[in-house]
Amino acid sequence: MTQTHEAENFAPIVDINARILILGSIPGIASLEAQHYYAHPRNGFWPIVGSLLKITWPENFDARYALLKQHHIALWDVMKSCRRTGSLDQNIEEASIIANDFDTFLTQHMHITDIFFNGQKAAQSFKKYALPNLSEQVIKRVQFHTLPSSSPAMASLNISAKTEKWRIIQDILKP
């Protein structure tokens, strides 16, 4: 039986030149155990973004993060912490959700103009727990986009279909 556990997010992957921010909900068990974003081997995040950027990811996660930064992509999660049974977003205990401080983060990273939510739970949680705390200045500057989840649990779309939906990222990153 899978036990309920306290899930905590990782530090954001970001540098001063980031133009977009991709937000998940909170790391799953495989990612928490590996201490890296999207570490589950069946999660489509790395194949999808690699296809969009036309790169092959190195095995080393720190090298992957460096490549994200080179492409002006920041990575983080909506939730700072929550209680959850297993890895599925549907098992998150809603009352336990604590959101990250996006107003401070987005004020410090003024080049970020677009936020992409990796799935519905990330979008819904941001709207409920983070959006009310954003300053008017940040809200006016940032566009929000919800993408299909890269998780293997979101099986209604295959990796190719998900990649097509994520292609909007390419348009925004064009010079």
Q: Could you report the per-residue pLDDT of 152-169, keeping only the tens digit for each? A: 888 899 999 999 999 999
Question: Are 24 and 79 contacting, i.e. CB atoms less than 8 angstroms apart?
Answer: no
Just give the CATH number of 4-173.
Answer: 3.40.470.10
In DSSP terms, 147 is beta-bridged to 118
Q: How confident is the model at residue 89 (pLDDT cuts 50, 70, 90)?
A: confident
Distances (CA, A) of 41 to 19, 75, 146, 171, 173: 27, 18, 23, 27, 26
pLDDT tens-digit readout, 5-47:
788 899 999 999 999 999 999 998 889 899 999 999 999 999 9
Domain boundaries, the chain: 4-173
So which residues are the catalytic ones?
Answer: 43
Which residues of the chain form beta strands (DSSP E)?
A: 4-8, 20-24, 73-77, 79-85, 98-99, 114-118, 143-147
Whole-structure pTM value: 0.94
- Chain centroid to CA 160: how far? 19
- Chain centroid to CA 27: how far? 9
Q: Report the chain's terminal Cα–Cα distance, integer Å.
A: 50
